[in-house]
Amino acid sequence: MSQGNCPHAALSFLISTIAPAVLPIAIAICACYPSVAAAQEFGPSNPFYAPSPLPFHAPPFDKIKDEDYQPAIEAGIAQSEAEYKAIAENPEAPTFDNTIVAMEKTGQLLDRATSAFFGVAGANIDDTIQKVRGIVAPKLAALEDSVYLNPKLFSRVETIYKQRATLKLDPEALRLVERDYDHFVHGGANLSESDKVQLRKINEELSTLSSTFDDKLLAATKAGAYVTIDKAMLAGLSDGRIAAAAASAKDRKVEGFVLPLQNTTQQPDLASLSNRATRQAIFENSWSRAEHGDANDTRDTIARMAQLRAQKAKLLGFPSFAAWKLEDQMAKTPEAALKFMDAIVPAATGKAAREAKDIQDVIDAQHGGFQLQPWDWQLYSEQVRKARYDLDDAQVKPYFELNNVLENGVFYAATQLYGITFKERHDIPVYHPDVRVFEVMDSNGQHLALFYCDYFKRDSKSGGAWMSEFVHQSRLMGDSPVVYNVANLPKPAAGEPALISFDDVTTMFHEFGHALHGMFSNAVYPGLAGTSTARDFVEFPSQFNEHWATYPSIFAHYARHYKTGALMPADLVAKIQKAKTFNKGYAMTELLAAAELDMQWHFLAPDAPLQNPDDFEKQALEKTHLNVSYVPPRYRSSYFEHIWGNDYSAGYYAYLWTQMLADDGYQWFTEHGGLTRANGDRFRQMVLSRGSTEELSKMYKDWRGADPNTKAMLKNRGLE
Ligand SMILES: [Zn+2]
């Protein structure tokens, strides 16, 4: 499943909220502050010193060395501080241009350096990058505080905010003023000086803890790999998978076979491993990866983070961290998000219970003599699927060769809907040989964006799949977007084709939906551009784009046998269509369980003591009727990267909320003739190009003609 697998935009989100920018005099300002230690090491020889000379300001990865990042980021922070100081202390009366627009223009150097840095930290980390991340994370958090807790700057923004009705601003400019003001208040600008000091302390500790969590989890996930020298333990895996396991062992310089862990609780190989002891061992490696009481144990870290977040919310005047976090979201309150989830729980767990019974029947018919456990689910549900739909992953995968899926499926769908075309560029440097770069042309033949894709799993990559940007779109700066997708699809042995599952196909469409949201952005101000929307909106374009993977004319165009080029036979297609609601009870329940865990952690009272994560987790699942023995949460608290390492805290429900938007939105296409250029252009114009330039529930309603509801979502997933 790709749903819930996408800690979208990761850490660069933090930076883009400060406002990315281009300011030609930036370097000169930086040079005025030689007291900053890093400035001594930072000069014209650093590849971030000046804007990239490459086409579309693509990062010069052929020139960037690991040791270039820290001085560039530190100089970028100093430069940003100086720029904000100049705005705050401007003797002229505050105006939209000298304050709001000026803030949008800050941080050019910092943005170039951090965009490349966090891209590489996510997709190709090494010891140096990891060390630098630990050093710069608290400094970046402190910069954010120095902006949002600066009383002079806030006073200027507040003045403009109060005058906004008389300033004759266009709607996007007005939206920017209101959003900036809300950000300041949300970030603590109205606090007393002593409370601001306390908030800064909490934010810095949280940022350090978040970095610590990331480091521990990466090590824990790597150490949690299943290792065996006995090939018989791998019975059931394909020859290709066994060869890949042998190659992983060779990479790690160990004997035998290595099956690395994915970031989710369930592991894909459990669908084919016939040895129950192997399945149980892999599942337990996954489930307890970060709970061994060793240096990689994350439990103390997350307990402290939950406590600090609750204290932060109290300081800001909110009853819980969740209440504070949802204030600027489409759902607006945790109560609205909970009401939405609670209403789906009975339908989801009811369907999961029926699925469990079908599976237990298969186990019993085979005289298995055991009760269904989580490590059995995928293997036997695959058998139920074969029996019921006669559909076998091994039968399907030869029709999904990765490059063909990309060019004749993902790209083709975008061409049909929006008229855009793609040309591979071999002249743009990349940070790893697996990365490919495409130039994207608009329907009129003009340049639109650069698109990088990096699909294969490796140990230096964080788990899951995501999209982010090296350059943000902005008409103010004249920048076109440079966007990337990263995933963890199984890498074939050398010379073998990359044959992927239909779930992996869905992941590619999903991430490309985010990419389109970034590439179609047509905002003036970078702070409102592209994917810089609320979390409970940002997964809408991506999940919506998944729908085109099974649209008949698209599917027929890419689902071709990798050897013969033959179309997938009609009966197999019919089976895939029919199997679409299969296992959706499990999928929805594991997502709900993770989303409820997230919400419960962030409902903690500010005076609550440090929690024992295992006890807390058990109680939280019981309380929300999601303690289903055979459906563990998609992520356990101790390895829930989205909420401790990324910005999805009190926001994981957004995956479900945006499923509602995606299915309800796709329903509009169904009602209006499906895949047509007119429908695509209308969606692009009214939604995908708009970023956050207007209020999101209004934007949705204007395009859809109504508020969203769960009808299409429950129907599509067979949960009615
Ligand atoms: Zn996503």
DSSP string, 61-121: TTT--HHHHHHHHHHHHHHHHHHHHHHHT-SSPP-IIIIIIHHHT--HHHHHHHHHHHHHH
pLDDT, residue 27, reads 27
pLDDT, residue 41, reads 78
Q: Kindly give the distance from the C-alpha atom of residue 518 to the centroid of ligand 1, in angstroms, as a whole number.
A: 12
Q: Kindly give the distance from the C-alpha atom of residue 397 to the centroid of ligand 1, in angstroms, as a whole number.
A: 23
CB contact at 8 A, 294 and 637: no
Question: pLDDT digits over 561-579, tens only?
Answer: 999 999 999 888 888 887 7
Q: How far apart are CA 399 and CA 405, in angstroms?
A: 9
Q: How far apart are CA 435 and CA 61, in angstroms?
A: 12
pLDDT, residue 385, reads 84
Give the DSSP H/E element, type plus range, for residue 701.
Answer: helix 696-704
pLDDT, residue 478, reads 95
Q: How far apart are CA 342 and CA 664, in angstroms?
A: 19
pLDDT, residue 407, reads 98
- Our measurement of the distance from residue 85's CA atom to the centroid of its chain's CA atoms, rounded to an integer in Å, reads 33
- Torsion of Cα atoms, 554 then 556 then 560 then 566, to 10°: -160
CB contact at 8 A, 604 and 310: yes
Q: Kindly give the distance from the C-alpha atom of residue 510 to the centroid of ligand 1, in angstroms, as a whole number.
A: 6
- Across the chain, mean pLDDT equals 91
Task: Tell me the one-letter amino acid at 32.
Answer: C
Beta pairing, strands 447-456 & 482-489: parallel
Backbone angles phi, psi at 381, to 5 degrees: -70, -30
Q: Kindly give the distance from the C-alpha atom of residue 330 to the centroid of ligand 1, in angstroms, as a whole number.
A: 17
Question: pLDDT digits over 14-40, tens only?
Answer: 333 333 322 222 222 233 333 334 444
Q: Kindly give the distance from the C-alpha atom of residue 8 to the centroid of ligand 1, in angstroms, as a whole number.
A: 5
Give the chain's count of helices (H) and strands (E): 30, 7
List the structure tokens of 88: 């705050």
pLDDT, residue 68, reads 96
Binned at pLDDT 50, 70 and 90, residue 328 comes out as: confident
Query: What percent of the chain clears pLDDT 90, i.e. is strictly above it?
Result: 83
pLDDT at 96 exceeding the cut of 90: yes
Question: pLDDT digits over 172-218, tens only?
Answer: 999 999 999 999 999 899 899 999 999 989 998 999 999 999 999 99
**Residue in 144, 382, 401, 511 annotated catalytic:** 511
pLDDT, residue 6, reads 54
How many angstroms separate the Cα of 290 from the Cα of each of 56, 212, 216, 313?
41, 13, 8, 27
Q: Kindly give the distance from the C-alpha atom of residue 467 to the centroid of ligand 1, in angstroms, as a whole number.
A: 7
Least confident range from 111-120, 136-145, 533-542, 628-637: namely 136-145
What is the average pLDDT across 158-163? 97
* 511 annotated active-site: yes
Q: Kindly give the distance from the C-alpha atom of residue 483 to the centroid of ligand 1, in angstroms, as a whole number.
A: 14
Question: pLDDT digits over 467-525, tens only?
Answer: 999 999 999 999 999 999 999 999 999 999 999 999 899 999 999 999 999 999 999 99
pLDDT, residue 145, reads 83
Q: Kindly give the distance from the C-alpha atom of residue 7 to the centroid of ligand 1, in angstroms, as a whole number.
A: 7
Q: How far apart are CA 298 and CA 568, in angstroms?
A: 46
Q: Is 562 helix (H, G, I), strand (E, B) or coil?
A: coil
Question: pLDDT digits over 394-449, tens only?
Answer: 889 999 999 999 999 999 999 999 999 999 999 999 999 999 999 999 999 999 99
pLDDT, residue 574, reads 84
Question: pLDDT digits over 57-89, tens only?
Answer: 999 999 999 999 999 999 999 999 999 999 999
